[in-house]
């Protein structure tokens, strides 16, 4: 089906908006009146610009407070409408949105509304225009889609149909089933928006918190199925009022918008992009650093050994059990030094995974392939993190590690260090895999990141949680495979401008965090100190065996418990933007220690103040 987006959903001047919509692959746009008024281009030029960009002008919007008013007022409204139809003629737009009236002058009189809308239809016909009448959720007398349809039906005018808007329908809790009773040819337009499930004034909710389908809590796909059952063949059009999108760059927002419609079309069976290929594990995490020493010292103390070096690039593989970390001493990507720049995802079908990512508009990265390199498909996540799809290592397929040459015994820090073979079972005190990766998202792209990881990678999103940092509130949300083999915790600051200040981290799974923490400390590692007051509180909340809490306090181990089990974890110091966490997770525990995050964040601020970095 044709896709369309309302210009109000994107930031910038009208031409910036149009360009972004076109580049993201939209077929058309709704032109929001204020965007037209504020544009220095006359309607004819906007029309030509849209044509050049391959965009149809699907809708002009909105006309307000038209119907069910006293005669003199309606005469003024018709005069106003004539002006707007004239503008539409110049624009080449043939459908106009009329919102149900919120005017105090409007009367609760469906017959009057139908009669006046019919007169409006007569005028519209003169200009070759169709009128799509929509119930605003806060309309004065008409606030539900079935009510708006009854009025359109009563008017029985060929130039008058209805416009359905998923937000207005679902925010009111209306049952969308009744949509199936509307003849498809009388549904002149379909506007789609999702929203988080907030209990708040519906007008404020609509004006500030709408989001793209799949980013909120509404069953937008279910509604679309009802609409499709009528034979509706107009566009799927996004109309999103959102304070964040108003500030974000139009280009990425438009891509995100288009991706949401691609996923929606797949969900309702309108299209069949390549199926998601759910990753089966984390093959590696790659750190880029201008100076490898601080981070490799940390890795060595954590029990990692350098097992291999890339044949053609300054990249070392550090390994322990199934936890693999690449240290890339290429040019640092970020000014604040060491950063988590790439993730290797084990994939049963790397090419399929890459095809799906490309179909869902993930930027495909140039392949890292030299004559000797294994083929690696990679895309960029919304925060710029590179995602590599890595084949499992079988004798038939060259794995990504084929690019790495063995380096056993070459490095001084390995002398005396235990060096497990790849895939070897870890010792009890060791790290056996990456438990999760925690990535800070740019402020404008939190919901986008969640949708990306869900739709492109086939991960599942957990609940979003608020976490209090001493200097602001963070939001955090994990995306995971059902079996937990891949877990990525996405977080974002409550406000923009501090993206760089928030660290990323790699959480390493161990079966005995006490032993692992001790080994780290004995190897010269410094653990994040946790205040004694925290342990007093733990003692009040949980029962511990003799000496257990003292051990935790000594090592800075934090403790949490949910219905499924316990979670014990501790932290290293931060290098650049990156730190490590040692994690002992009982199998049933689902979380990430969010309960402890305020204490951890405060402790990191304290450590930074004490060391000045």
Could you tell me the smallest distance in angstroms from the CB atom of residue 157 to a second copy?
A: 22
Contact 235, 275 (CB under 8 A): no
List the structure tokens of 116. Answer: 């006046």
Nearer to a second copy, 249 or 512 (CB): 249
- Going across the sheet that includes 323-328, the strands are 377-380, 386-390, 339-346, 281-288, 323-328, 315-320, 305-310, 404-406
Nearer to a second copy, 281 or 598 (CB): 598
Could you tell me the smallest distance in angstroms from the CB atom of residue 551 to a second copy?
A: 19
Pairing of strands 236-238, 3-6: parallel
Helix (H, G, I), strand (E, B) or coil at 17: helix
Nearer to a second copy, 12 or 350 (CB): 12
Residues that bind a second copy (CB under 8 A): 11-13, 16, 33-34, 36-43, 79-80, 82-84, 87, 198-201, 204, 207-208, 243, 246-247, 466, 468-473, 494-497, 529, 531-534, 536-537, 539-541, 598-599, 601-603, 605-606
Angle between helices 110-126 and 71-91 (to 10 degrees): 40
CA distance 141 to 102: 8
Could you tell me the smallest distance in angstroms from the CB atom of residue 249 to a second copy?
A: 9
Could you tell me the smallest distance in angstroms from the CB atom of residue 428 to a second copy?
A: 31
Q: Which of 140, 246, 151 is nearest to 203 (CA)?
A: 140
Contact 353, 389 (CB under 8 A): yes
Nearer to a second copy, 63 or 106 (CB): 63
Could you tell me the smallest distance in angstroms from the CB atom of residue 480 to a second copy?
A: 26
Could you tell me the smallest distance in angstroms from the CB atom of residue 72 to a second copy?
A: 13
Nearer to a second copy, 273 or 598 (CB): 598
Nearer to a second copy, 178 or 196 (CB): 196
Find the largest Cα–Cα distance for the chain.
94
Nearer to a second copy, 79 or 375 (CB): 79
CA distance 80 to 437: 57
DSSP secondary structure string, 354-414?
HHHHHHTTPPBPPP---TTSPP-EEEE-TTS-EEEEE----SSSPPGGGGEEE-TT-SGGG
Could you tell me the smallest distance in angstroms from the CB atom of residue 474 to a second copy?
A: 10
Q: Which of 241, 155, 173 is nearest to 206 (CA)?
A: 241
Could you tell me the smallest distance in angstroms from the CB atom of residue 607 to a second copy?
A: 10
Contact 95, 127 (CB under 8 A): no
Nearer to a second copy, 461 or 494 (CB): 494
Contact 584, 510 (CB under 8 A): yes
List the structure tokens of 291. Answer: 């100076």
Could you tell me the smallest distance in angstroms from the CB atom of residue 45 to a second copy?
A: 11
For 433, other C-beta atoms within 10 Å of its C-beta total 17
CA distance 233 to 184: 8
CA distance 57 to 28: 6
Nearer to a second copy, 343 or 597 (CB): 597
Nearer to a second copy, 304 or 552 (CB): 552
Could you tell me the smallest distance in angstroms from the CB atom of residue 553 to a second copy?
A: 12
């Amino acid at each position: 089906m044709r896709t369309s987006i309302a210009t109000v959903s994107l930031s910038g001047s009208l031409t910036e908006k149009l360009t972004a919509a076109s580049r993201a692959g939209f077929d058309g746009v709704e032109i929001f009146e204020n965007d037209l008024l504020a544009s220095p281009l006359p309607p004819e030029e906007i029309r030509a610009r849209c044509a050049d960009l391959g965009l149809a002008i699907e809708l002009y919007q909105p006309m307000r407070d038209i119907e069910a008013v006293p005669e003199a007022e309606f005469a003024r409204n018709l005069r106003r409408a004539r002006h707007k139809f004239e503008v539409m003629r110049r624009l080449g737009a043939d459908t106009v949105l009329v919102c149900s009236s919120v005017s105090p002058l409007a009367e609760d009189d469906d017959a009057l509304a139908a009669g006046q809308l019919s007169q409006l239809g007569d005028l519209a016909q003169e200009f070759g225009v169709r009128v799509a009448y929509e119930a605003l959720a806060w309309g004065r007398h008409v606030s539900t889609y079935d009510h708006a349809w009854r009025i359109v039906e009563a008017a029985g005018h060929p130039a008058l149909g209805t416009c359905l808007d998923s937000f207005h329908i679902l925010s009111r809790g209306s049952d969308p089933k009744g949509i199936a009773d509307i003849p498809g040819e009388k549904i002149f337009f379909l506007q789609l928006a999702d929203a988080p499930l907030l209990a708040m004034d519906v007008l404020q909710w609509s004006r500030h918190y709408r989001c793209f389908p799949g980013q909120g809590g509404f069953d937008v796909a279910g509604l679309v199925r009802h609409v499709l059952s009528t034979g509706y063949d107009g566009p799927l059009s996004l109309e999103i009022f959102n304070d964040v999108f108003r500030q974000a760059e139009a280009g990425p927002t438009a891509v995100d918008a288009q991706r949401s419609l691609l996923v929606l079309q797949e969900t309702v069976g309108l299209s069949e992009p390549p199926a998601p290929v759910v990753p089966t594990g984390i093959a590696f995490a790659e750190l880029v650093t201008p100076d490898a020493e601080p981070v490799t010292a940390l890795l060595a103390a954590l029990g990692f050994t350098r097992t291999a070096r890339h044949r053609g690039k300054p990249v070392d593989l550090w390994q322990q059990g199934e936890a693999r970390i690449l240290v890339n001493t290429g040019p640092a990507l970020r000014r604040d030094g060491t950063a988590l720049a790439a993730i290797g995802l084990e994939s049963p079908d790397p090419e399929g995974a890459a095809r799906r990512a490309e179909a869902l508009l993930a930027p495909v990265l140039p392949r890292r392939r030299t004559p000797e390199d294994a083929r690696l498909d990679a895309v960029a996540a919304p925060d710029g993190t590179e995602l590599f799809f890595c084949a499992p290592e079988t004798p038939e397929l060259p794995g990504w590690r084929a690019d790495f040459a063995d380096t056993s015994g070459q490095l001084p820090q390995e002398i005396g260090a235990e060096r497990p073979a790849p895939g070897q079972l870890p010792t009890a005190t060791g790290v056996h895999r990456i438990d999760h990766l925690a990535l800070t998202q740019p402020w404008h792209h939190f919901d986008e990141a969640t949708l990306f990881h869900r739709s492109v990678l086939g991960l599942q999103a957990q609940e979003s949680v608020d976490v209090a940092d001493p200097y602001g509130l963070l939001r955090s949300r994990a995306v995971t495979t059902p079996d937990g083999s891949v877990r990525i915790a996405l977080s974002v600051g409550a406000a923009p401008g501090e993206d760089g200040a928030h660290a990323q981290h790699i959480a390493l799974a161990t079966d005995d965090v006490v032993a692992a923490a001790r080994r780290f400390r004995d190897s010269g590692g410094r653990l994040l100190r946790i205040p004694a007051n925290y342990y007093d509180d733990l003692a009040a909340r949980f029962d511990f065996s003799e000496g257990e809490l003292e051990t935790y306090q000594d090592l800075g181990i934090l403790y949490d418990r949910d219905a499924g089990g316990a979670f014990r974890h501790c932290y290293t110091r931060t290098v650049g933007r990156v730190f490590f966490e040692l994690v002992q997770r009982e199998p049933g525990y689902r979380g990430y220690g969010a309960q402890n995050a305020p204490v951890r964040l405060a402790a990191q601020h304290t450590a930074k103040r004490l060391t000045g970095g």
